Amino acid sequence: MNSGAERQEAEHDNDGHAKHEGARAASHGQHQRKTREAGTRSLLDALAVGDQDEILKLREILAGLGRRAFGMLLFICILPAFIPTPISGAISGPLVVLIGAQLLIGLRKPWLPKFLAERGPHRHAIARFDKRISPWLGKLEHLIKPRMTILLDHRAATMLTGLLLVLLGLLLSLPIPFTNFIFGGLLLMFALALLERDGALMAVSWIAGAIAIAVFGVLSGNLAALAATWLDHFVF
């Protein structure tokens, strides 16, 4: 009888342990879901709420984001690229180069000169972009997630990301027709990879960025040669 009682007690303990483990796993799953929900879309939603005429200072936007701050800064800096004006690339391009250079030299968090840190976009610009991109982010939420973080944190990987951002920023600065949206979309992939800590998306961004640099780098070279030819004609 003692043996039967001990067996029942052991089974009860096992059941209790299994329930405890199940509850802990469920709690861990809920925590993971909550952490994932507090991603790019949640950050944008939070920034979009408030006085629409208020200027959001970059210093305040980046506070508390840690290494994800590079992704948020890149995200903010490429917003002008999606505005169809002739100078939008000239605004976003140098800022992207600045971010890429900091990743290339190994900074752990973004550095901004004071005159830039105290400036930033109007809240209504963030709200407008949030409204435009939110449906796409909703569809991508189950695909973009923290994974393969070695492609974000390893020194060689960070240098590669920085180099590609510098080159893409330079191309964005050039007056290559009809490319602002293309470069803006590519840089948005880099920003999301950094924000969501998604190494797989970063790998895709590397490939897409390298292809764009190869293709448009040649194109911009041809344009430069053509401009030099025209200059020779005017001078002589």
- For the chain, which residues make up each domain, given as ranges? 1-36, 40-235
Q: What is the rounded CA–CA span in Å between residue 198 and residue 207?
A: 15
Instruction: Name the pTM for this structure.
Output: 0.71
Instruction: Give the integer Cα–Cα distance in Å for 18 and 24.
Output: 10
Q: Which of helix, strand or coil describes residue 55?
A: strand
| Alpha carbon distance 82, 184 (integer Å) | 7
Radius of gyration of the chain (CA): 24
pLDDT at residue 72, rounded to an integer: 86
d(CA 201, CA 191): 10
* Token pair for 211: 């292809």
Q: How far is CA 225 from CA 218, 220, 221, 229, 231, in A?
A: 11, 9, 6, 6, 10
For residue 34, what pLDDT is reported?
40
> Who contacts 92 (Cβ-Cβ below 8 Å, separation ≥6)?
77, 78, 79, 80, 81, 169, 172, 184, 187
Q: Looking up tokens 């007690």, which residue turns up?
A: 9
Chain centroid to Cα 210, Å, comes to 17
Look-up of token digits 């004006």: 85
| Per-residue confidence in pLDDT tens, the chain, 236 aa | 445 545 555 454 455 444 444 444 434 344 443 434 346 777 777 888 887 888 888 888 888 777 788 888 898 888 888 777 767 778 888 899 999 999 999 888 888 888 888 888 888 888 887 787 777 777 777 788 889 989 999 999 999 999 999 999 988 888 777 788 889 889 999 999 998 899 999 999 999 999 998 888 777 666 556 556 655 665 44
Is residue 150 within 8 A of residue 202, CB to CB? The reply is: no
pLDDT, residue 17, reads 45
Alpha-helical segments (H) within 144-198: 150-153, 155-173, 180-196
Question: How many whole angstroms separate alpha carbon 41 and alpha carbon 38?
Answer: 7
Structure letter (DSSP) for residue 108: S
Rounded to whole angstroms, how far apart are CA atoms 104 and 31? 34
